[in-house]
């Protein structure tokens, strides 16, 4: 595997280390926590079927497998299958894992019955235990991809994606798909936000719709956010994998569009003056998409160097060598003059 040079602040002081993109980690939806102990902890979808595992690094380049950190208990856990997209946050000496899973309470036998739950541990390496015998809340439709923002005023916000399942939406692209004989309906996933209780036990108020795919084909975002439909991959348009960053009083929401299993999975962002919107999508979208041998780039998280000066975009993608397997990439990113950019995807020396 060729090397991609990225400067980071290592545990030994300021120096440059080499990060090989992609990493030898078979994850989807990677999330990296820089914990209080100065180490980086990576969580993601995959490797184990009944929960989540973890990798640990001192420098973002060299990762050690720490084993399974959350394991669902078939007798007591609310989630039974499809354990996806874990994110871990340190608070008051504890570590809280937000994740998606298939809820066992399913009286109408829904094919997609996903909800979001919370588990807690004394260590970022687990073991994490469910904080309750049910999901965090039930909005009445399947949801995935939890992300949490701790705002400067001490309030917390939860962001998530409503699944496409049983959510057909009329739009210009739906009309186009019918005219072309591709699909009769187009289902969509939308991103919502809601205030989160300080103890992470419940939500406050009603969720607010923040992002959705474009309705009109004249929308400048319509082309890149509709590629899964226009390429005949699926009768769905996704808006998922949100990640919030606050910078200089602005709220930047990164998000992924298109089919996660396809080549056109890509990342864009939107900006707001408030944590619950309204959000305006950037004219620069997408800021991360397929390039050369790297395809399927998406569902990112963001982490920082220990001195807080350098931002890194952590995401999954595929190469010809990795085939259908999702693997992890780490590239530099920045926010400046109200614009967000990602220096990737990279594969090779630089």
**DSSP string over 260-306:** TTSTT-EEEEEEESSTT---EE-TT--SB--BTTBEEEEEEEEEE-T
The verdict on whether omega for the bond into residue 87 sits within 30 degrees of 0, i.e. cis, is: no
Query: In a 3-state reduction of DSSP, which class is residue 177?
Result: helix
Confidence band (pLDDT; 50, 70, 90) for 16?
low
The model's pTM is 0.94
Residue carrying structure tokens 């309750």: 132
Residue 13 clears pLDDT 50, i.e. is over it: no
Residue 220 clears pLDDT 90, i.e. is over it: yes
The total number of residues shown for the chain amounts to 350
Residue 132 clears pLDDT 60, i.e. is over it: yes
Find the largest Cα–Cα distance for the chain: 61
Distance CA(144)–CA(216), nearest Å, equals 26
Q: What is the pLDDT of residue 5?
A: 34
Residue 128 clears pLDDT 70, i.e. is over it: yes
Q: What is the pLDDT of residue 12?
A: 31
Q: Residues 6 or more apart from 239 whose CB is under 8 A from it?
A: 161, 188, 189, 190, 191, 211, 212, 213, 225, 255, 256, 257
Q: What is the pLDDT of residue 15?
A: 53
Tell me what percent of the residues of the chain surpass a pLDDT of 90. 93
Q: What is the pLDDT of residue 19?
A: 87
Residue 114 clears pLDDT 50, i.e. is over it: yes
Residue 347 clears pLDDT 80, i.e. is over it: yes
Question: What is the per-residue burial (b if ≥16 Cβ within 10 Å, else e) of 50-61?
Answer: bbbbbbbbebbb
């Amino acid at each position: 595997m060729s090397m991609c040079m990225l400067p980071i602040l290592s545990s030994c002081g300021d120096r440059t280390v080499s990060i090989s993109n992609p990493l030898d980690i078979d994850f989807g939806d990677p999330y990296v926590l820089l914990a209080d102990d100065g180490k980086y902890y990576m969580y993601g979808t995959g490797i184990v079927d009944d929960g989540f595992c973890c990798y640990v690094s001192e420098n973002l380049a060299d990762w050690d497998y720490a084993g399974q950190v959350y394991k669902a208990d078939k007798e007591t856990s609310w989630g039974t299958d499809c354990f996806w997209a874990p994110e871990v946050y340190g608070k008051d000496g504890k570590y809280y894992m937000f994740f998606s899973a298939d809820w066992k309470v399913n009286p109408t036998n829904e094919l997609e019955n996903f909800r979001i739950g919370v588990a807690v541990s004394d260590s970022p390496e687990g073991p994490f235990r469910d904080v309750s015998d049910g999901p965090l809340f039930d909005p009445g439709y399947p949801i995935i991809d939890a992300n949490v923002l701790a705002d400067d005023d001490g309030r917390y916000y939860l962001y998530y994606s409503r699944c496409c399942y049983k959510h057909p939406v009329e739009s210009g692209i739906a009309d186009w798909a019918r005219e072309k004989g591709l699909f009769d309906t187009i289902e969509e996933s939308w991103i919502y936000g809601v205030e989160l209780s300080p103890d992470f036990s419940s939500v406050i108020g009603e969720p607010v719709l923040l992002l959705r795919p474009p309705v009109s084909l004249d929308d400048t975002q319509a082309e890149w956010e509709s590629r899964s439909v226009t390429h005949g991959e699926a009768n769905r348009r996704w808006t998922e994998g949100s990640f919030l960053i606050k910078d200089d009083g602005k709220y930047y929401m990164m998000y992924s569009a298109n089919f996660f299993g396809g080549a056109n999975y890509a990342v864009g962002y939107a900006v707001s003056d408030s944590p619950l919107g309204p959000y305006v999508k950037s004219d620069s979208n997408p800021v991360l998409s397929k390039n050369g041998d790297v395809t399927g780039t998406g569902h990112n998280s963001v982490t920082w160097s220990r001195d807080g000066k350098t931002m890194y975009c952590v995401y999954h993608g595929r190469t010809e060598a990795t085939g259908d397997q999702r693997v992890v990439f780490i590239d530099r990113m920045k926010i400046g003059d109200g614009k967000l950019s990602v220096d990737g995807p990279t594969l090779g020396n630089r």
